[in-house]
Amino acid sequence: MAFCGLKYRGIIMSAQTDIQPKKTKILNYINVFRGLAILLIVAGHTMQFGDAGSLTQKISVEVFAGGTALFIFISGFLFQHLSGKYEFKNYMKKKWTNVILPYFVTAIPGILLCFMFPQSYGNAFDGLNPLLQIPMFLSVGRVHNTPAWFIPMIFLFFLASYHLLLFEKKNILYKLLVPLFVVTLLLPRQDVDYSTVQGLSYSAKYLAYLKYVLVGFVHFFSMYVFGMYCSKYKEKIDTFYKFRWIYWILMIGTAILNVHLSMNFGISNGTVSKVFLTILVLAYLKHYDEWLISHTKLNKVLDFIAKYSFGIFFVHWYFFYMYNQIFHLPTVIPTAEFGLGTCILMVILRFTAVTLMSVGALYIVKKLILKINPEAFTRSYVGV
């Protein structure tokens, strides 16, 4: 009887082990994509050059800016890829630990810069009670850390996660992709920063920044759902590669059209060409995934960048600001003052320096945290 009991419990334990969900691994080509996406975001901030309103400036913006679209696509892809074990409460707990907490921690340097150098850093709420400024900073992101508007925006996707999966289950979500892309096309993002809100009341400034976040959410909804679609139907990615030349033509064509419209009519929507860039990057990375994996050293470098991608996103703007202050450089380096060749060299150096300083600082801080507490979950502090 004892033997039978042990045997019975063994069968039950074996069955329980068999039915437990396996841990879903991040695909290598998606991991590499994540690293390349953050490099494009850093390039979008550090590699703009040309005189204001010039063709050179418009082209540099078109080529380098807009990396957020790729980052949002990755967010949607990974959300769907890992959705097999989705449960709203646990999902939000993980997002609190992995996204919101490091956002709060890495916001500290930006908040201090807002108070210490309000004009050069661009604090639109300077003069208001600091206890009111801080929650305003954190709820819109863009003031204390320009790229960090992404966090309040992506938080809206977290809140919508249950309904996104519900609509997917009911075979509704991906039928909405075409109208969602039409919304992206017809609702371009309008920039908002320190200079554009001058003269407004504090409440009007806050609403302007809040509108920027909400418009970004609506504008990029298509890219998030498209990421989910590509994850759900991964075989479609091979089709993208098969017809890659069509997507090359569409990407270059829409980029040229956007520069033309921006130059002549003041209309700009850089996300359109980035949709096709996303398709191309995804297609090439998946097609050459085995080649990348076989080149161990290269793949390790790309994996390292991917692992540090979220941390780089959080801190690179601070080093960008510091670099510009040290070398007395504007955000967009004018060709009239330095010449085209020199400008190109300068933005390459700035991109390289900001990236390396960001990675170096994150690495040092991570090591210090682990030295103080070897069991610490460093991602909750600096995103790495």
Least confident of 4-13, 119-128, 272-281, 293-302: 4-13
Q: Who's near 137: CB < 8 A, 6+ residues apart?
A: 107, 110, 111, 114, 125, 143, 144
Residues 223-250: tens digit of each pLDDT? 999 999 999 999 999 999 999 999 999 9
pLDDT > 60? residue 183? yes
Using DSSP, state whether 49 is helix, strand or coil.
strand
Cβ contacts of 52 within 8 Å, gap of 6 or more: 332, 334
**Residues in contact with 320: Cβ distance below 8 Å, sequence separation at least 6, in sequence order:** 45, 46, 350, 354
What is the arithmetic mean of pLDDT over 358-375?
A: 95
Predicted TM-score (pTM) of the model is 0.91
According to DSSP, the residues that pair with 49 across neighbouring strands are 333
Mean pLDDT of 193-220: 95
Tens digits of residue pLDDT in 319-328? 999 999 999 9
Average pLDDT taken over every residue of the chain: 92
Q: Decide if pLDDT at 10 tops 80.
A: no
pLDDT-derived band at 190 (thresholds 50, 70, 90) equals confident
Residue 26: the pLDDT is 78
Q: What's the burial of 154, exposed, middle or buried (CB within 10 Å: 0-12/13-18/19+)?
A: buried
What angle in degrees, to the nearest 10, is found between the helix axes of 28-46 and 340-372? 120
Closest CA to 251 of 243, 171, 357: 243
User: What pLDDT score does 219 carry?
Assistant: 97
Is pLDDT at 21 greater than 60 in this prediction?
no
What was the pLDDT predicted at 24?
65
Query: So what's the pLDDT on residue 5?
Result: 46
Residues 21 and 85: beta-carbon distance below 8 Å:
yes
> Per this entry, what is the length of the chain?
384
Residues 282, 283, 288: CA angle, nearest 5 degrees: 100
| Calpha distance 33→318 (Å, rounded) | 24
* pLDDT band at residue 19 using 50, 70 and 90 as cut-offs: very low
